[in-house]
Amino acid sequence: MALTLTDVTLTYPDGAGRLTALDRVNLHVPGGTIAAVTGPSGSGKSSLLAVAATLIRPDSGKVELDSDAGTTDLATLSRRAAATARRTSMGIVCQQPNLIASLTAIEQLEVIAHLGGPKRASRSESSARAKELIDAVRLTEHAHKRPAQLSGGQRQRVNIARALMNDPALLVVDEPTSALDSERGAAIIDLITTIARTHHAATILVTHDSTHLHRMDAVYRMTDGTLTTFEVPSTVS
């Protein structure tokens, strides 16, 4: 399991010219490790996540995902193949959980299993997997509650468990603590680091919160579309 970006460039139309969002970005994230990406708003962090998650195709470069199925250059996939890759090989944790209001916590996970394409599990297997993940994110007592009955931190835990339902090779995480207080944010980061390593997923996490950077395996800074290694200050803890 690993994600490797090689010389990835992405531009957007900008009047008569092009705006460079990603400028020859190189990044390698081995399975079971977490790479954090920080930087100011508008620097290219969201574009990086979108490219890694096959939501946007880059102008040039390779986006290679190593999984049980082999190595795939995600940048070359058709829209249909990219959608299949997201369902079967990726877990995406959005800034806002966007849970289905009418479903309980455990049902949110079971629905994902039914969309698993070639990896689609039987109902009994899906239920067992969902229960395992609900237990892993420490929501056993809340498994049958709907989103309105859960706190913000609990909803984010469901979001994380849902992203892991199809045992992804790649976990893409966008600002998971932005809507949480410091205590709940620390608990969510602890959960992500533990689960990503346990499930051996290559994890790329975008954050503005420097408090948790020392927990990451690697930290990068995005500036005007350029990605560089970032040394975490020893005072950050």
Q: What is the CATH number of domain 1-89+168-236?
A: 3.40.50.300
Which is it for strands 218-223 and 226-229: parallel, antiparallel or unpaired? antiparallel
Can you tell me the distance from the alpha carbon of 61 to that of 81, in angstroms, rounded to the nearest whole number?
A: 18
CA distance from start to end of the chain = 29
pLDDT at 125: 80
Q: What confidence tens digit (pLDDT) does each residue in 58-97 have?
A: 999 999 999 877 899 999 999 999 998 998 889 999 888 8
Per-residue pLDDT band at 119 (split at 50, 70, 90): low
Q: Is the pLDDT of residue 39 over 80?
A: yes
φ, ψ (nearest 5 deg) of residue 173: -125, 125
The pLDDT of residue 54? 96
| pLDDT beyond 60 at 233 | no
| CA–centroid distance for 105 within its chain | 19
Contacts 24+ apart (CB under 8 A), 152-155: 152/179, 152/180, 152/184, 153/180, 153/184, 153/187, 153/188, 154/105, 155/97, 155/99
Which of the 8 DSSP states describes residue 80?
H
Alpha-carbon dihedral sign for residues 56, 29, 20, 8: negative
Let me know the angle formed at the C-alpha of 90 by 182 and 77, rounded to the nearest 5 degrees.
135
The residues spanned by each domain of the chain are 1-89+168-236, 99-167
Q: What's the average model confidence in pLDDT over 44-48?
A: 94
Coil, helix or strand for 6? strand
**Is the pTM value of this prediction over 0.75?**
yes
Segment 41-52 mean pLDDT: 94
Per-residue pLDDT for 225 more than 90? yes
Q: Quick: pLDDT tens for 170-189.
A: 999 998 888 777 888 888 88
User: Which tokens belong to 203?
Assistant: 């994890």
| DSSP, res 174 | E
pLDDT at 102: 95
pLDDT in tens, 141-166: 999 999 999 998 899 889 988 998 88
Backbone angles phi, psi at 62, to 5 degrees: -110, 145
